[in-house]
Structure 1
Amino acid sequence: MTVPYREETPPGWPEAVERTWAVEQIAGGVRLSGDCPTCGHPTETRVVTVIMAPGARPDPRWTPPTGPEPVLVVCDCVQDHEGRPAGRTGCGRAAYLELLADQP
């Protein structure tokens, strides 16, 4: 029996992801993977590096980030969860985490 679908960030969920998930560099970004702290199913979140092409015109209101940007990390497992809306995956649990580059 799996846990029902619920869009939330349970207490301790972000800390469990930080402690237990692997982070690896992949072409174009990083991949975070591990077992969801809530449903226990294997899942992953890919974070792509956004690069602006030379000569591209950004929205004039856009300003480059000055520090780490929050990244939405979600349970994206393929197992069924009661109450999950059509077209969705995972158990609904998610959190914003800050990815920091390793310091030399």
Structure 2
Amino acid sequence: MTDPYREETPDGWSGRVEQTWEVEEVTDGLRLFGDCPTCRHPSETRVLVVRTAPGARPEPDHKSLELTRPEPVLVVCECAEEHEGRPAGRTGCGRAAYLQLVTDQP
């Protein structure tokens, strides 16, 4: 039986995501992926990276993602499995947490 849908952040959930999920740079930002610590189903969170503000001039040679300070990112279980009590139009088991996203410094 799968875990029921519940919008919460269980103790230790974000730490397990930080330790076990992988981060991959994709065309428009980042893809964080791994198994949800609660329901253990595969999940992913995509983070869109906005490099310039509207009206700003883009930097033509800016090719890599660089975060100069930690950015809070909401990571949510988005698994495709059914969970009892999940509202229509939603995915996952409802567990989520804000993580501080930073890039590795050389």
TM score, norm. by length of structure 1: 0.86
1:22-42 Cα distance to aligned partner (Å, 9 max, x none): 111111111000000000000
| Equivalent AA in structure 2 for residue 27 of structure 1 | T
CA drift of 1:98 comes to: 0.7
Distance 1:54 1:70, change over 3 A: closer
- What is the CA–CA distance in structure 1 between the aligned matches of 2:54 and 2:34, rounded to whole Å? 36
- What is the CA–CA distance in structure 1 between the aligned matches of 2:83 and 2:101, rounded to whole Å? 28
CA RMSD between the two structures? 1.4
Alignment of 1:1-104 (within 5 A): 1-53=1-53, 55=55, 67-104=69-106
Distance 1:74 1:54, change over 3 A: closer
- What is the CA–CA distance in structure 1 between the aligned matches of 2:87 and 2:79, rounded to whole Å? 14
CA drift of 1:54 comes to: 5.8
CA drift of 1:53 comes to: 4.9
TM score, norm. by length of structure 2: 0.85
For 2:65, the equivalent position in structure 1 comes to none
- What is the CA–CA distance in structure 2 between the aligned matches of 1:47 and 1:102, rounded to whole Å? 17
CA drift of 1:50 comes to: 1.0
CA drift of 1:46 comes to: 0.5
| Structure 1, unaligned runs of 5 or more | 57-65
Aligned residues: 95
